[in-house]
Amino acid sequence: MEEGSGVLQNSRSDKRLIGGEGTHEEFEGNSSFLRVVETLLRLFPIVLSVTALVIMLKNSEENEHGSVSYTDLSAFRYLVHANGICAGYSLLSVVFVALPRLSSSMSINWTFFLLDQVLTYLILAAGAASMEVLYLAEKGNAATAWSSACSVFGLFCHKLTASIAITFVAVICYVFLSLISSYKLFTKYDAPDISNISKGVHISAFHG
C-alpha cells in the first residue's frame, strides 16, 4: 500500500505542474466545501460525547432497594472511556482539518482514514454493548432469572437511555466521517483533466 501511495503522490505533484487553473479552482472549491462539512462532523461528536460522558458520570441512584452506579456495569464504564477517547480525538482532528496546511499531507490523510475507522468501531461497539445491557435492565430475562432493574432504578435507566442515544448520534457522525475521509483520500488521487494536459504539452512545445 505504501508503494502505491508513493506512486500516486508523484502523479499528484505532476498534476500540479500540468493541470490548468480551472481544474485547480474546482478542486479547491470542492475541497473547501468538504472541509466545512468535515469540520462540523468533527465538532458535533465533541459536544455529543462530552454530554453523553457527563450524563453517565453523574448517573447513580440510591433507594430503599439498594444503590446502582454506572461503575457497577462494565459496558457503561467502557461507554464512558469510548466517549472520552472520541471527544479527545475529535478535538485533535478538528485542529488538523481546520488548518489546510496540516491536512494536505498524504500521511495525515491516511492516518485520519484509519483512525476514523477505528473510532467508529470503538464507539459503535460501546454503544451496542450498552444498549444490550439497557435492554436487559428494562425487560429482565426469565431464563437467566435476571430481574428488571429499571423497575427499581427508574431514573438511572432514563439517564442511561439519554447517554446511549446521544452516543449513537456520535456514531452516525463517525460513519459519515469514515466515508468522507476515504472519499478525501481518493479524490487526492484523481486523474488530471486530459484537455488541460494537452494544453500544457502544447505550451511546452511552443516554448521549446
Would you tell me which residues interact with a second copy (CB under 8 A)?
A: 1, 4, 7-8, 11-12, 14-15, 18, 30, 66-69, 72-75, 113, 117, 120-121, 124-133, 135-137, 141-147, 149, 175, 178-179, 182-183, 185-187, 189-194, 197-198, 201
Quote the least distance from Cβ 132 to a second copy, whole Å.
4
Show the cell assigned to 14: 505532476
What is the maximum alpha-carbon separation in the chain?
92
CB of 33 or CB of 99, closer to a second copy = 33
Least CB distance to a second copy at residue 94 (A): 22
Q: What is the chain's alpha carbon radius of gyration, rounded to the nearest angstrom?
A: 24
Please state the closest distance from residue 58 (CB atom) to a second copy, in A: 17
If one counts every other C-beta atom within 10 angstroms of the C-beta of residue 174, the result is: 26
DSSP 145: T
C-alpha 155/C-alpha 168 separation (Å) is: 20
Residue number with CB closer to a second copy (75 or 94)? 75
The distance of Cα 14 from the centroid of its chain, to the nearest Å, equals 32
Closest to a second copy by CB, 91 or 108: 108
Pick the closer one to a second copy by CB: 128 or 162.
128
Amino acid identity for residue 111 in this structure: T
